[in-house]
Every structure is written in structure tokens, then in C-alpha cells.
Amino acid sequence: MSAKFLIDTSYFIVSMLFILGLKSMSSPVTARRGIVWAGLGMVLATMVTFAWPGMGNFALMVIALVVGGGAAWWSGKVVKMTDMPQMVAIYNGMGGGAAAAIAAVEFAKGDMHGMVVTALAALGALIGAVSFSGSCIAFAKLQGIMKKTFRLPAQNAVNVILSAITLLMGTVIVLSGHPTALLLVMFFMLALALGAIITMPIGGADMPVVISLFNAFTGLAVGFEGFVLANPALIIAGIVVGAAGSLLTQLMAKAMNRSLTNILFNPITGEAQGSGAGIIGTMKEVTALDAAAMMRYAHKVLIVPGYGMAVAQAQHKVWEMAKLLEEAGVEVKFAIHPVAGRMPGHMNVLLAEAGVPYDKIYDLEEINAEFPQADVVLVIGANDVVNPAARIDKSSPIYGMPILNADQAQNVIVIKRGKGAGYSGIENSLFYAENTHLLYGNAQQAVNEVIRNIKEISS
Ligand code: NAP
């Protein structure tokens, strides 16, 4: 059996593991298994890479693996669930940066074969560099390192002109065959600047979509560089990541009813939009005892979790409360908005971790018709995903975003700490509605208080 045959077979297995892993991640039931499959694929791909003919410095590769693997292991262990989007952003950016670095090395070697390979290298370099710098900005924003949203005076024109110049330089590189070092440095600098400048104005609710878009970019860049290196694993992994990232971007944009062009060229900036003018009513407080009694004597309670439940890590308490209500004969269902929290599937993962059975968790399309029949809707740390402005206020930046129709229930109880706005910074008329009462406090403590009161009522 030749070494080439063994390597090719291994790459085939690696590809299957990646695809199987991704497929399994599409459901919370099989997600963990999917991560193991994809991880195994990565380990096998790394091992085969060592056997790749003409592979360079073995010691350097081992050092890189140990340092990179160690850092990833540590950060994966310590990262908070709510900080996951920025971690995804920075790791994804590294992938784009690595693809751009491969192109830089190949250009520096100067032995690129043919115009097609050179063009793919340049394209991969451009997309990879944009993804790298853009993801770094996204990380800095989500981590709170960069607090302001910067928008240039003629932002969109700058984006277009800068993209055109960078593309032109890439074309010159491809046509010249042997570009000068200066041309290459300028090309990479411009590509990096482009990623940063495009991302700087984007804030608030649009950021996770942009991170996902960069994820797709990274996949594409890695795939292109795979062609340059004639490495099938890179090509397949890149295409799989590129396709998955594109689909995710599309799904998120659809769930927020925002087109990609709108997100990139007309972003919601995160600064408070919609002062709440026109909202009538007052915020009415409710005690934990009253909230407990309303739910304990209800026939049907729908629970809408949001980002606040994730921050407070209240999912275990929420499930404990739901079980108590069920024991008292109340029908309890969980209503999940596709972009509740800070990443797709955020709430499903948290509820699954707390042990909530999957048949109690309903998607927006499945549950929305049931809100008018619910005696009580308990909104726990959710805001934008239940904001009726998305349905009725044409001037609202989130107009058109599908929402959970919590406002149509008989009674609404909202757990939140104070008057804080949602991710998009928009005021929410639901909180002022006649049938809404607010239970102020940290989600975990508030639910704990409700549990204590339900137990007292039931005893
Ligand atoms: P949200 O709009 O960000 O609202 C969270 C609410 O939780 C706030 O009103 C806040 O009010 C409250 N809160 C914060 N910490 C709390 C705590 N410790 N205890 C109790 N309450 C707390 O959340 P969401 O309704 O889940 O909406 C998600 C947002 O992210 C949407 O704008 C969506 O478009 C955006 N987004 C998500 C994704 C995704 O994939 N998930 C993707 C793109 C965009 P107080 O400060 O008063 O407590």
C-alpha cells in the first residue's frame, strides 16, 4: 500500500468525520457526539499533515500544536457561556489569519504554479485577512475592550472604494506573477484595514450575524489555500465550514428579518434607538408571592427565556420551578426564539444542560399560536425577542423581526433587574402593557423566590 493511498484514505475519513460532526451538531440530542466526531477528524487531519510529503520543520509544528492546543483547551474550560460569541469570533479570525498567512508564505516563496493557483491564493489571502481583522474588532467589541461604534462620514463609499483598490492590487499580483514585496505588503495591509473598517460601525444586534459571515469567509479562504497547497483535507474542511457558515448567516439574518446588505451597510448601531416615545402605560411591579400564585393556579404557563437567564445561570432553577408547576397540574412549555440569547441555540443548550426534556421546548413557529391561550407567560431575561414593536411599529429598527407573541397572553410576568433595554437598545412596550407585571431582580434569585412561594402555597 503506497503512502499516498494511505494519506488520501485518511483525508477521506477526516472529511467524513467533519461532515458527520456538523450533521450531528444540528440537534441538541446529538450535538455532543458531533463535537467528538469533528474533534477526532481534527486530530486525524493533524496526524496526517505530519506525514504530508515535504512538510517543514517538525519541531516547530509540535510547538505550535502544543501552544495552540493548550491555549484552546484552557480558554474552552474557563469561558463563560455568555462570552461564547467573542470566543467563536476570535478563533474564527485565527483561521482566516492562518489562511492569509499560508498565502503570504507561498507568495514569499515565489514558486506558485500558474495563474489559477495564484488567483486562488490572492483571493484566499484577501478573504482570510478581512475575516481576521474583522473578527478581532468583533471580539474587542463583544468583550467590551472597544466600547464605541465608529462610523466614518461616508462609510459605505469608503467600504466600496477600499474593496475596489484591494481587489485591483490582488489582480495586479496575479497578473504580474512575481509581485514585489512592497506590493504584497500593501495588499495585505489594505485587506486587513478593509476587515476592520467594515466591522467598526457594526454593533448591537447585528454582531453575531457578522461573526457568522466571517466564519463563512474563513472557510472559503481555507478552502482556496487548500487548492494552493493541493491539500484535500483543507479543501474539504474549508468548503464544509464555508457552507455551514453561509447557511447559519442566512438563518440568523432571516430570524431577524434583516438582509445581509442591510446588516453591512445599514447596521443597528447599538446606541439607544427608539426612545420609547409613544409608549403608553406604566411598569407595574409584582411580588414573588403574587407571581407564584398566578402561575400555581394557571392552566397553562409558557416560559420565554432570554439572554438574562443565561447571564444569571438561572436555567436549573427555572426547570425546578417548571417541575413544581407541573406537579400542581399546570401545563408548562418553553418558547424559544431563534435568536434569543447571544448565539443560535443558546437557550436550547442551557435548557438541555438543566435537564429540560426536548418535548417541552418549542420553536417560534410551533408555539406562537398558543400565546392567546396561555394564562401566564413568564419572560425571564428576554427583551427584544418579545418586543411588539417588531410587529407593529414601522419606524422601529427591529420592525419585521419575527417575535414571540407574549403580549397576546392573558397575563405576562417579566423577570428583569431594572429598566435596562435589550441588546438592540430599543424600548419595549410589552413592559408597560396593561396585562404585564414586572418581577424585579436577578433571574436566579427571582426564580428561587418564586419556587419558595410555590412550595409554601402548595404545602
Ligand atoms: P435581550 O434583548 O438582550 O434582553 C435581555 C434582558 O435581560 C434585558 O432586558 C435585561 O434587562 C435582562 N437581564 C440582563 N441580565 C439579567 C439578569 N442577571 N437577571 C435578569 N434579567 C437580566 O435578550 P433577548 O430577548 O434574548 O434577545 C437577544 C438579542 O440578541 C436580540 O436583539 C437578537 O437580535 C440579538 N442576537 C442574537 C443572536 C443569537 O444568535 N442568539 C444573533 C444575533 C443577534 P435588565 O438590564 O433590566 O436586567
For residues 235 and 399, give the distance between their C-alpha atoms in angstroms, rounded to a whole number: 40
Q: In terms of pLDDT, which residue wins out, 372 or 396?
A: 372
| pLDDT the model gives residue 226 | 93
Q: For the chain, how big is the Rg over CA atoms in Å? A: 25
Burial of 275 (0-12, 13-18, 19+ CB in 10 A): exposed
| pLDDT the model gives residue 7 | 83
| pLDDT the model gives residue 360 | 96
Percent of the chain clearing pLDDT 70 (strictly above): 96
Most informative mutation of 250, 304, 339, 415 for ligand 1 (most atoms within 8 A of CB): 339
- Beta strand pairing status for 436-440 and 300-305? unpaired
- pLDDT of 211-255, one tens digit each? 999 999 999 999 999 999 888 888 988 998 999 999 999 988 888
Q: How far is the CA of 423 from the centre of ligand 1 (A)?
A: 5
Q: Does the beta carbon of 309 sit less than 6 angstroms from any atom of ligand 1?
A: no
| pLDDT the model gives residue 276 | 56
Q: Which atom from ligand 1 is nearest to the alpha carbon of 385?
A: 25
For residues 331 and 176, give the distance between their C-alpha atoms in angstroms, rounded to a whole number: 70
User: Which band of pLDDT confidence, cut at 50, 70 and 90, is reported for residue 378?
Assistant: very high
Q: How far is the CA of 308 from the centre of ligand 1 (A)?
A: 6
- pLDDT of 316-366, one tens digit each? 999 999 999 999 999 999 999 988 988 888 898 899 889 999 899 999 999
Q: Which of 80-84, 361-365, 397-401 has the highest mean pLDDT?
A: 361-365
| pLDDT the model gives residue 277 | 57
User: Which band of pLDDT confidence, cut at 50, 70 and 90, is reported for residue 268?
Assistant: low
For residues 220 and 243, give the distance between their C-alpha atoms in angstroms, rounded to a whole number: 8
Q: Determine contact, residues 428/421, Cβ cutoff 8 Å.
A: yes
User: Which band of pLDDT confidence, cut at 50, 70 and 90, is reported for residue 272?
Assistant: very low
Q: Determine contact, residues 134/89, Cβ cutoff 8 Å.
A: no
For 90, 103, 304, the CA distances from 98, given in Å and listed in that order, are 12, 9, 40
SS3 136: helix
For 59, 69, 71, the CA distances from 74, given in Å and listed in that order, are 22, 9, 5
**Nearest to residue 388, comparing CAs of 422, 439, 363?**
422
User: Which band of pLDDT confidence, cut at 50, 70 and 90, is reported for residue 42?
Assistant: confident
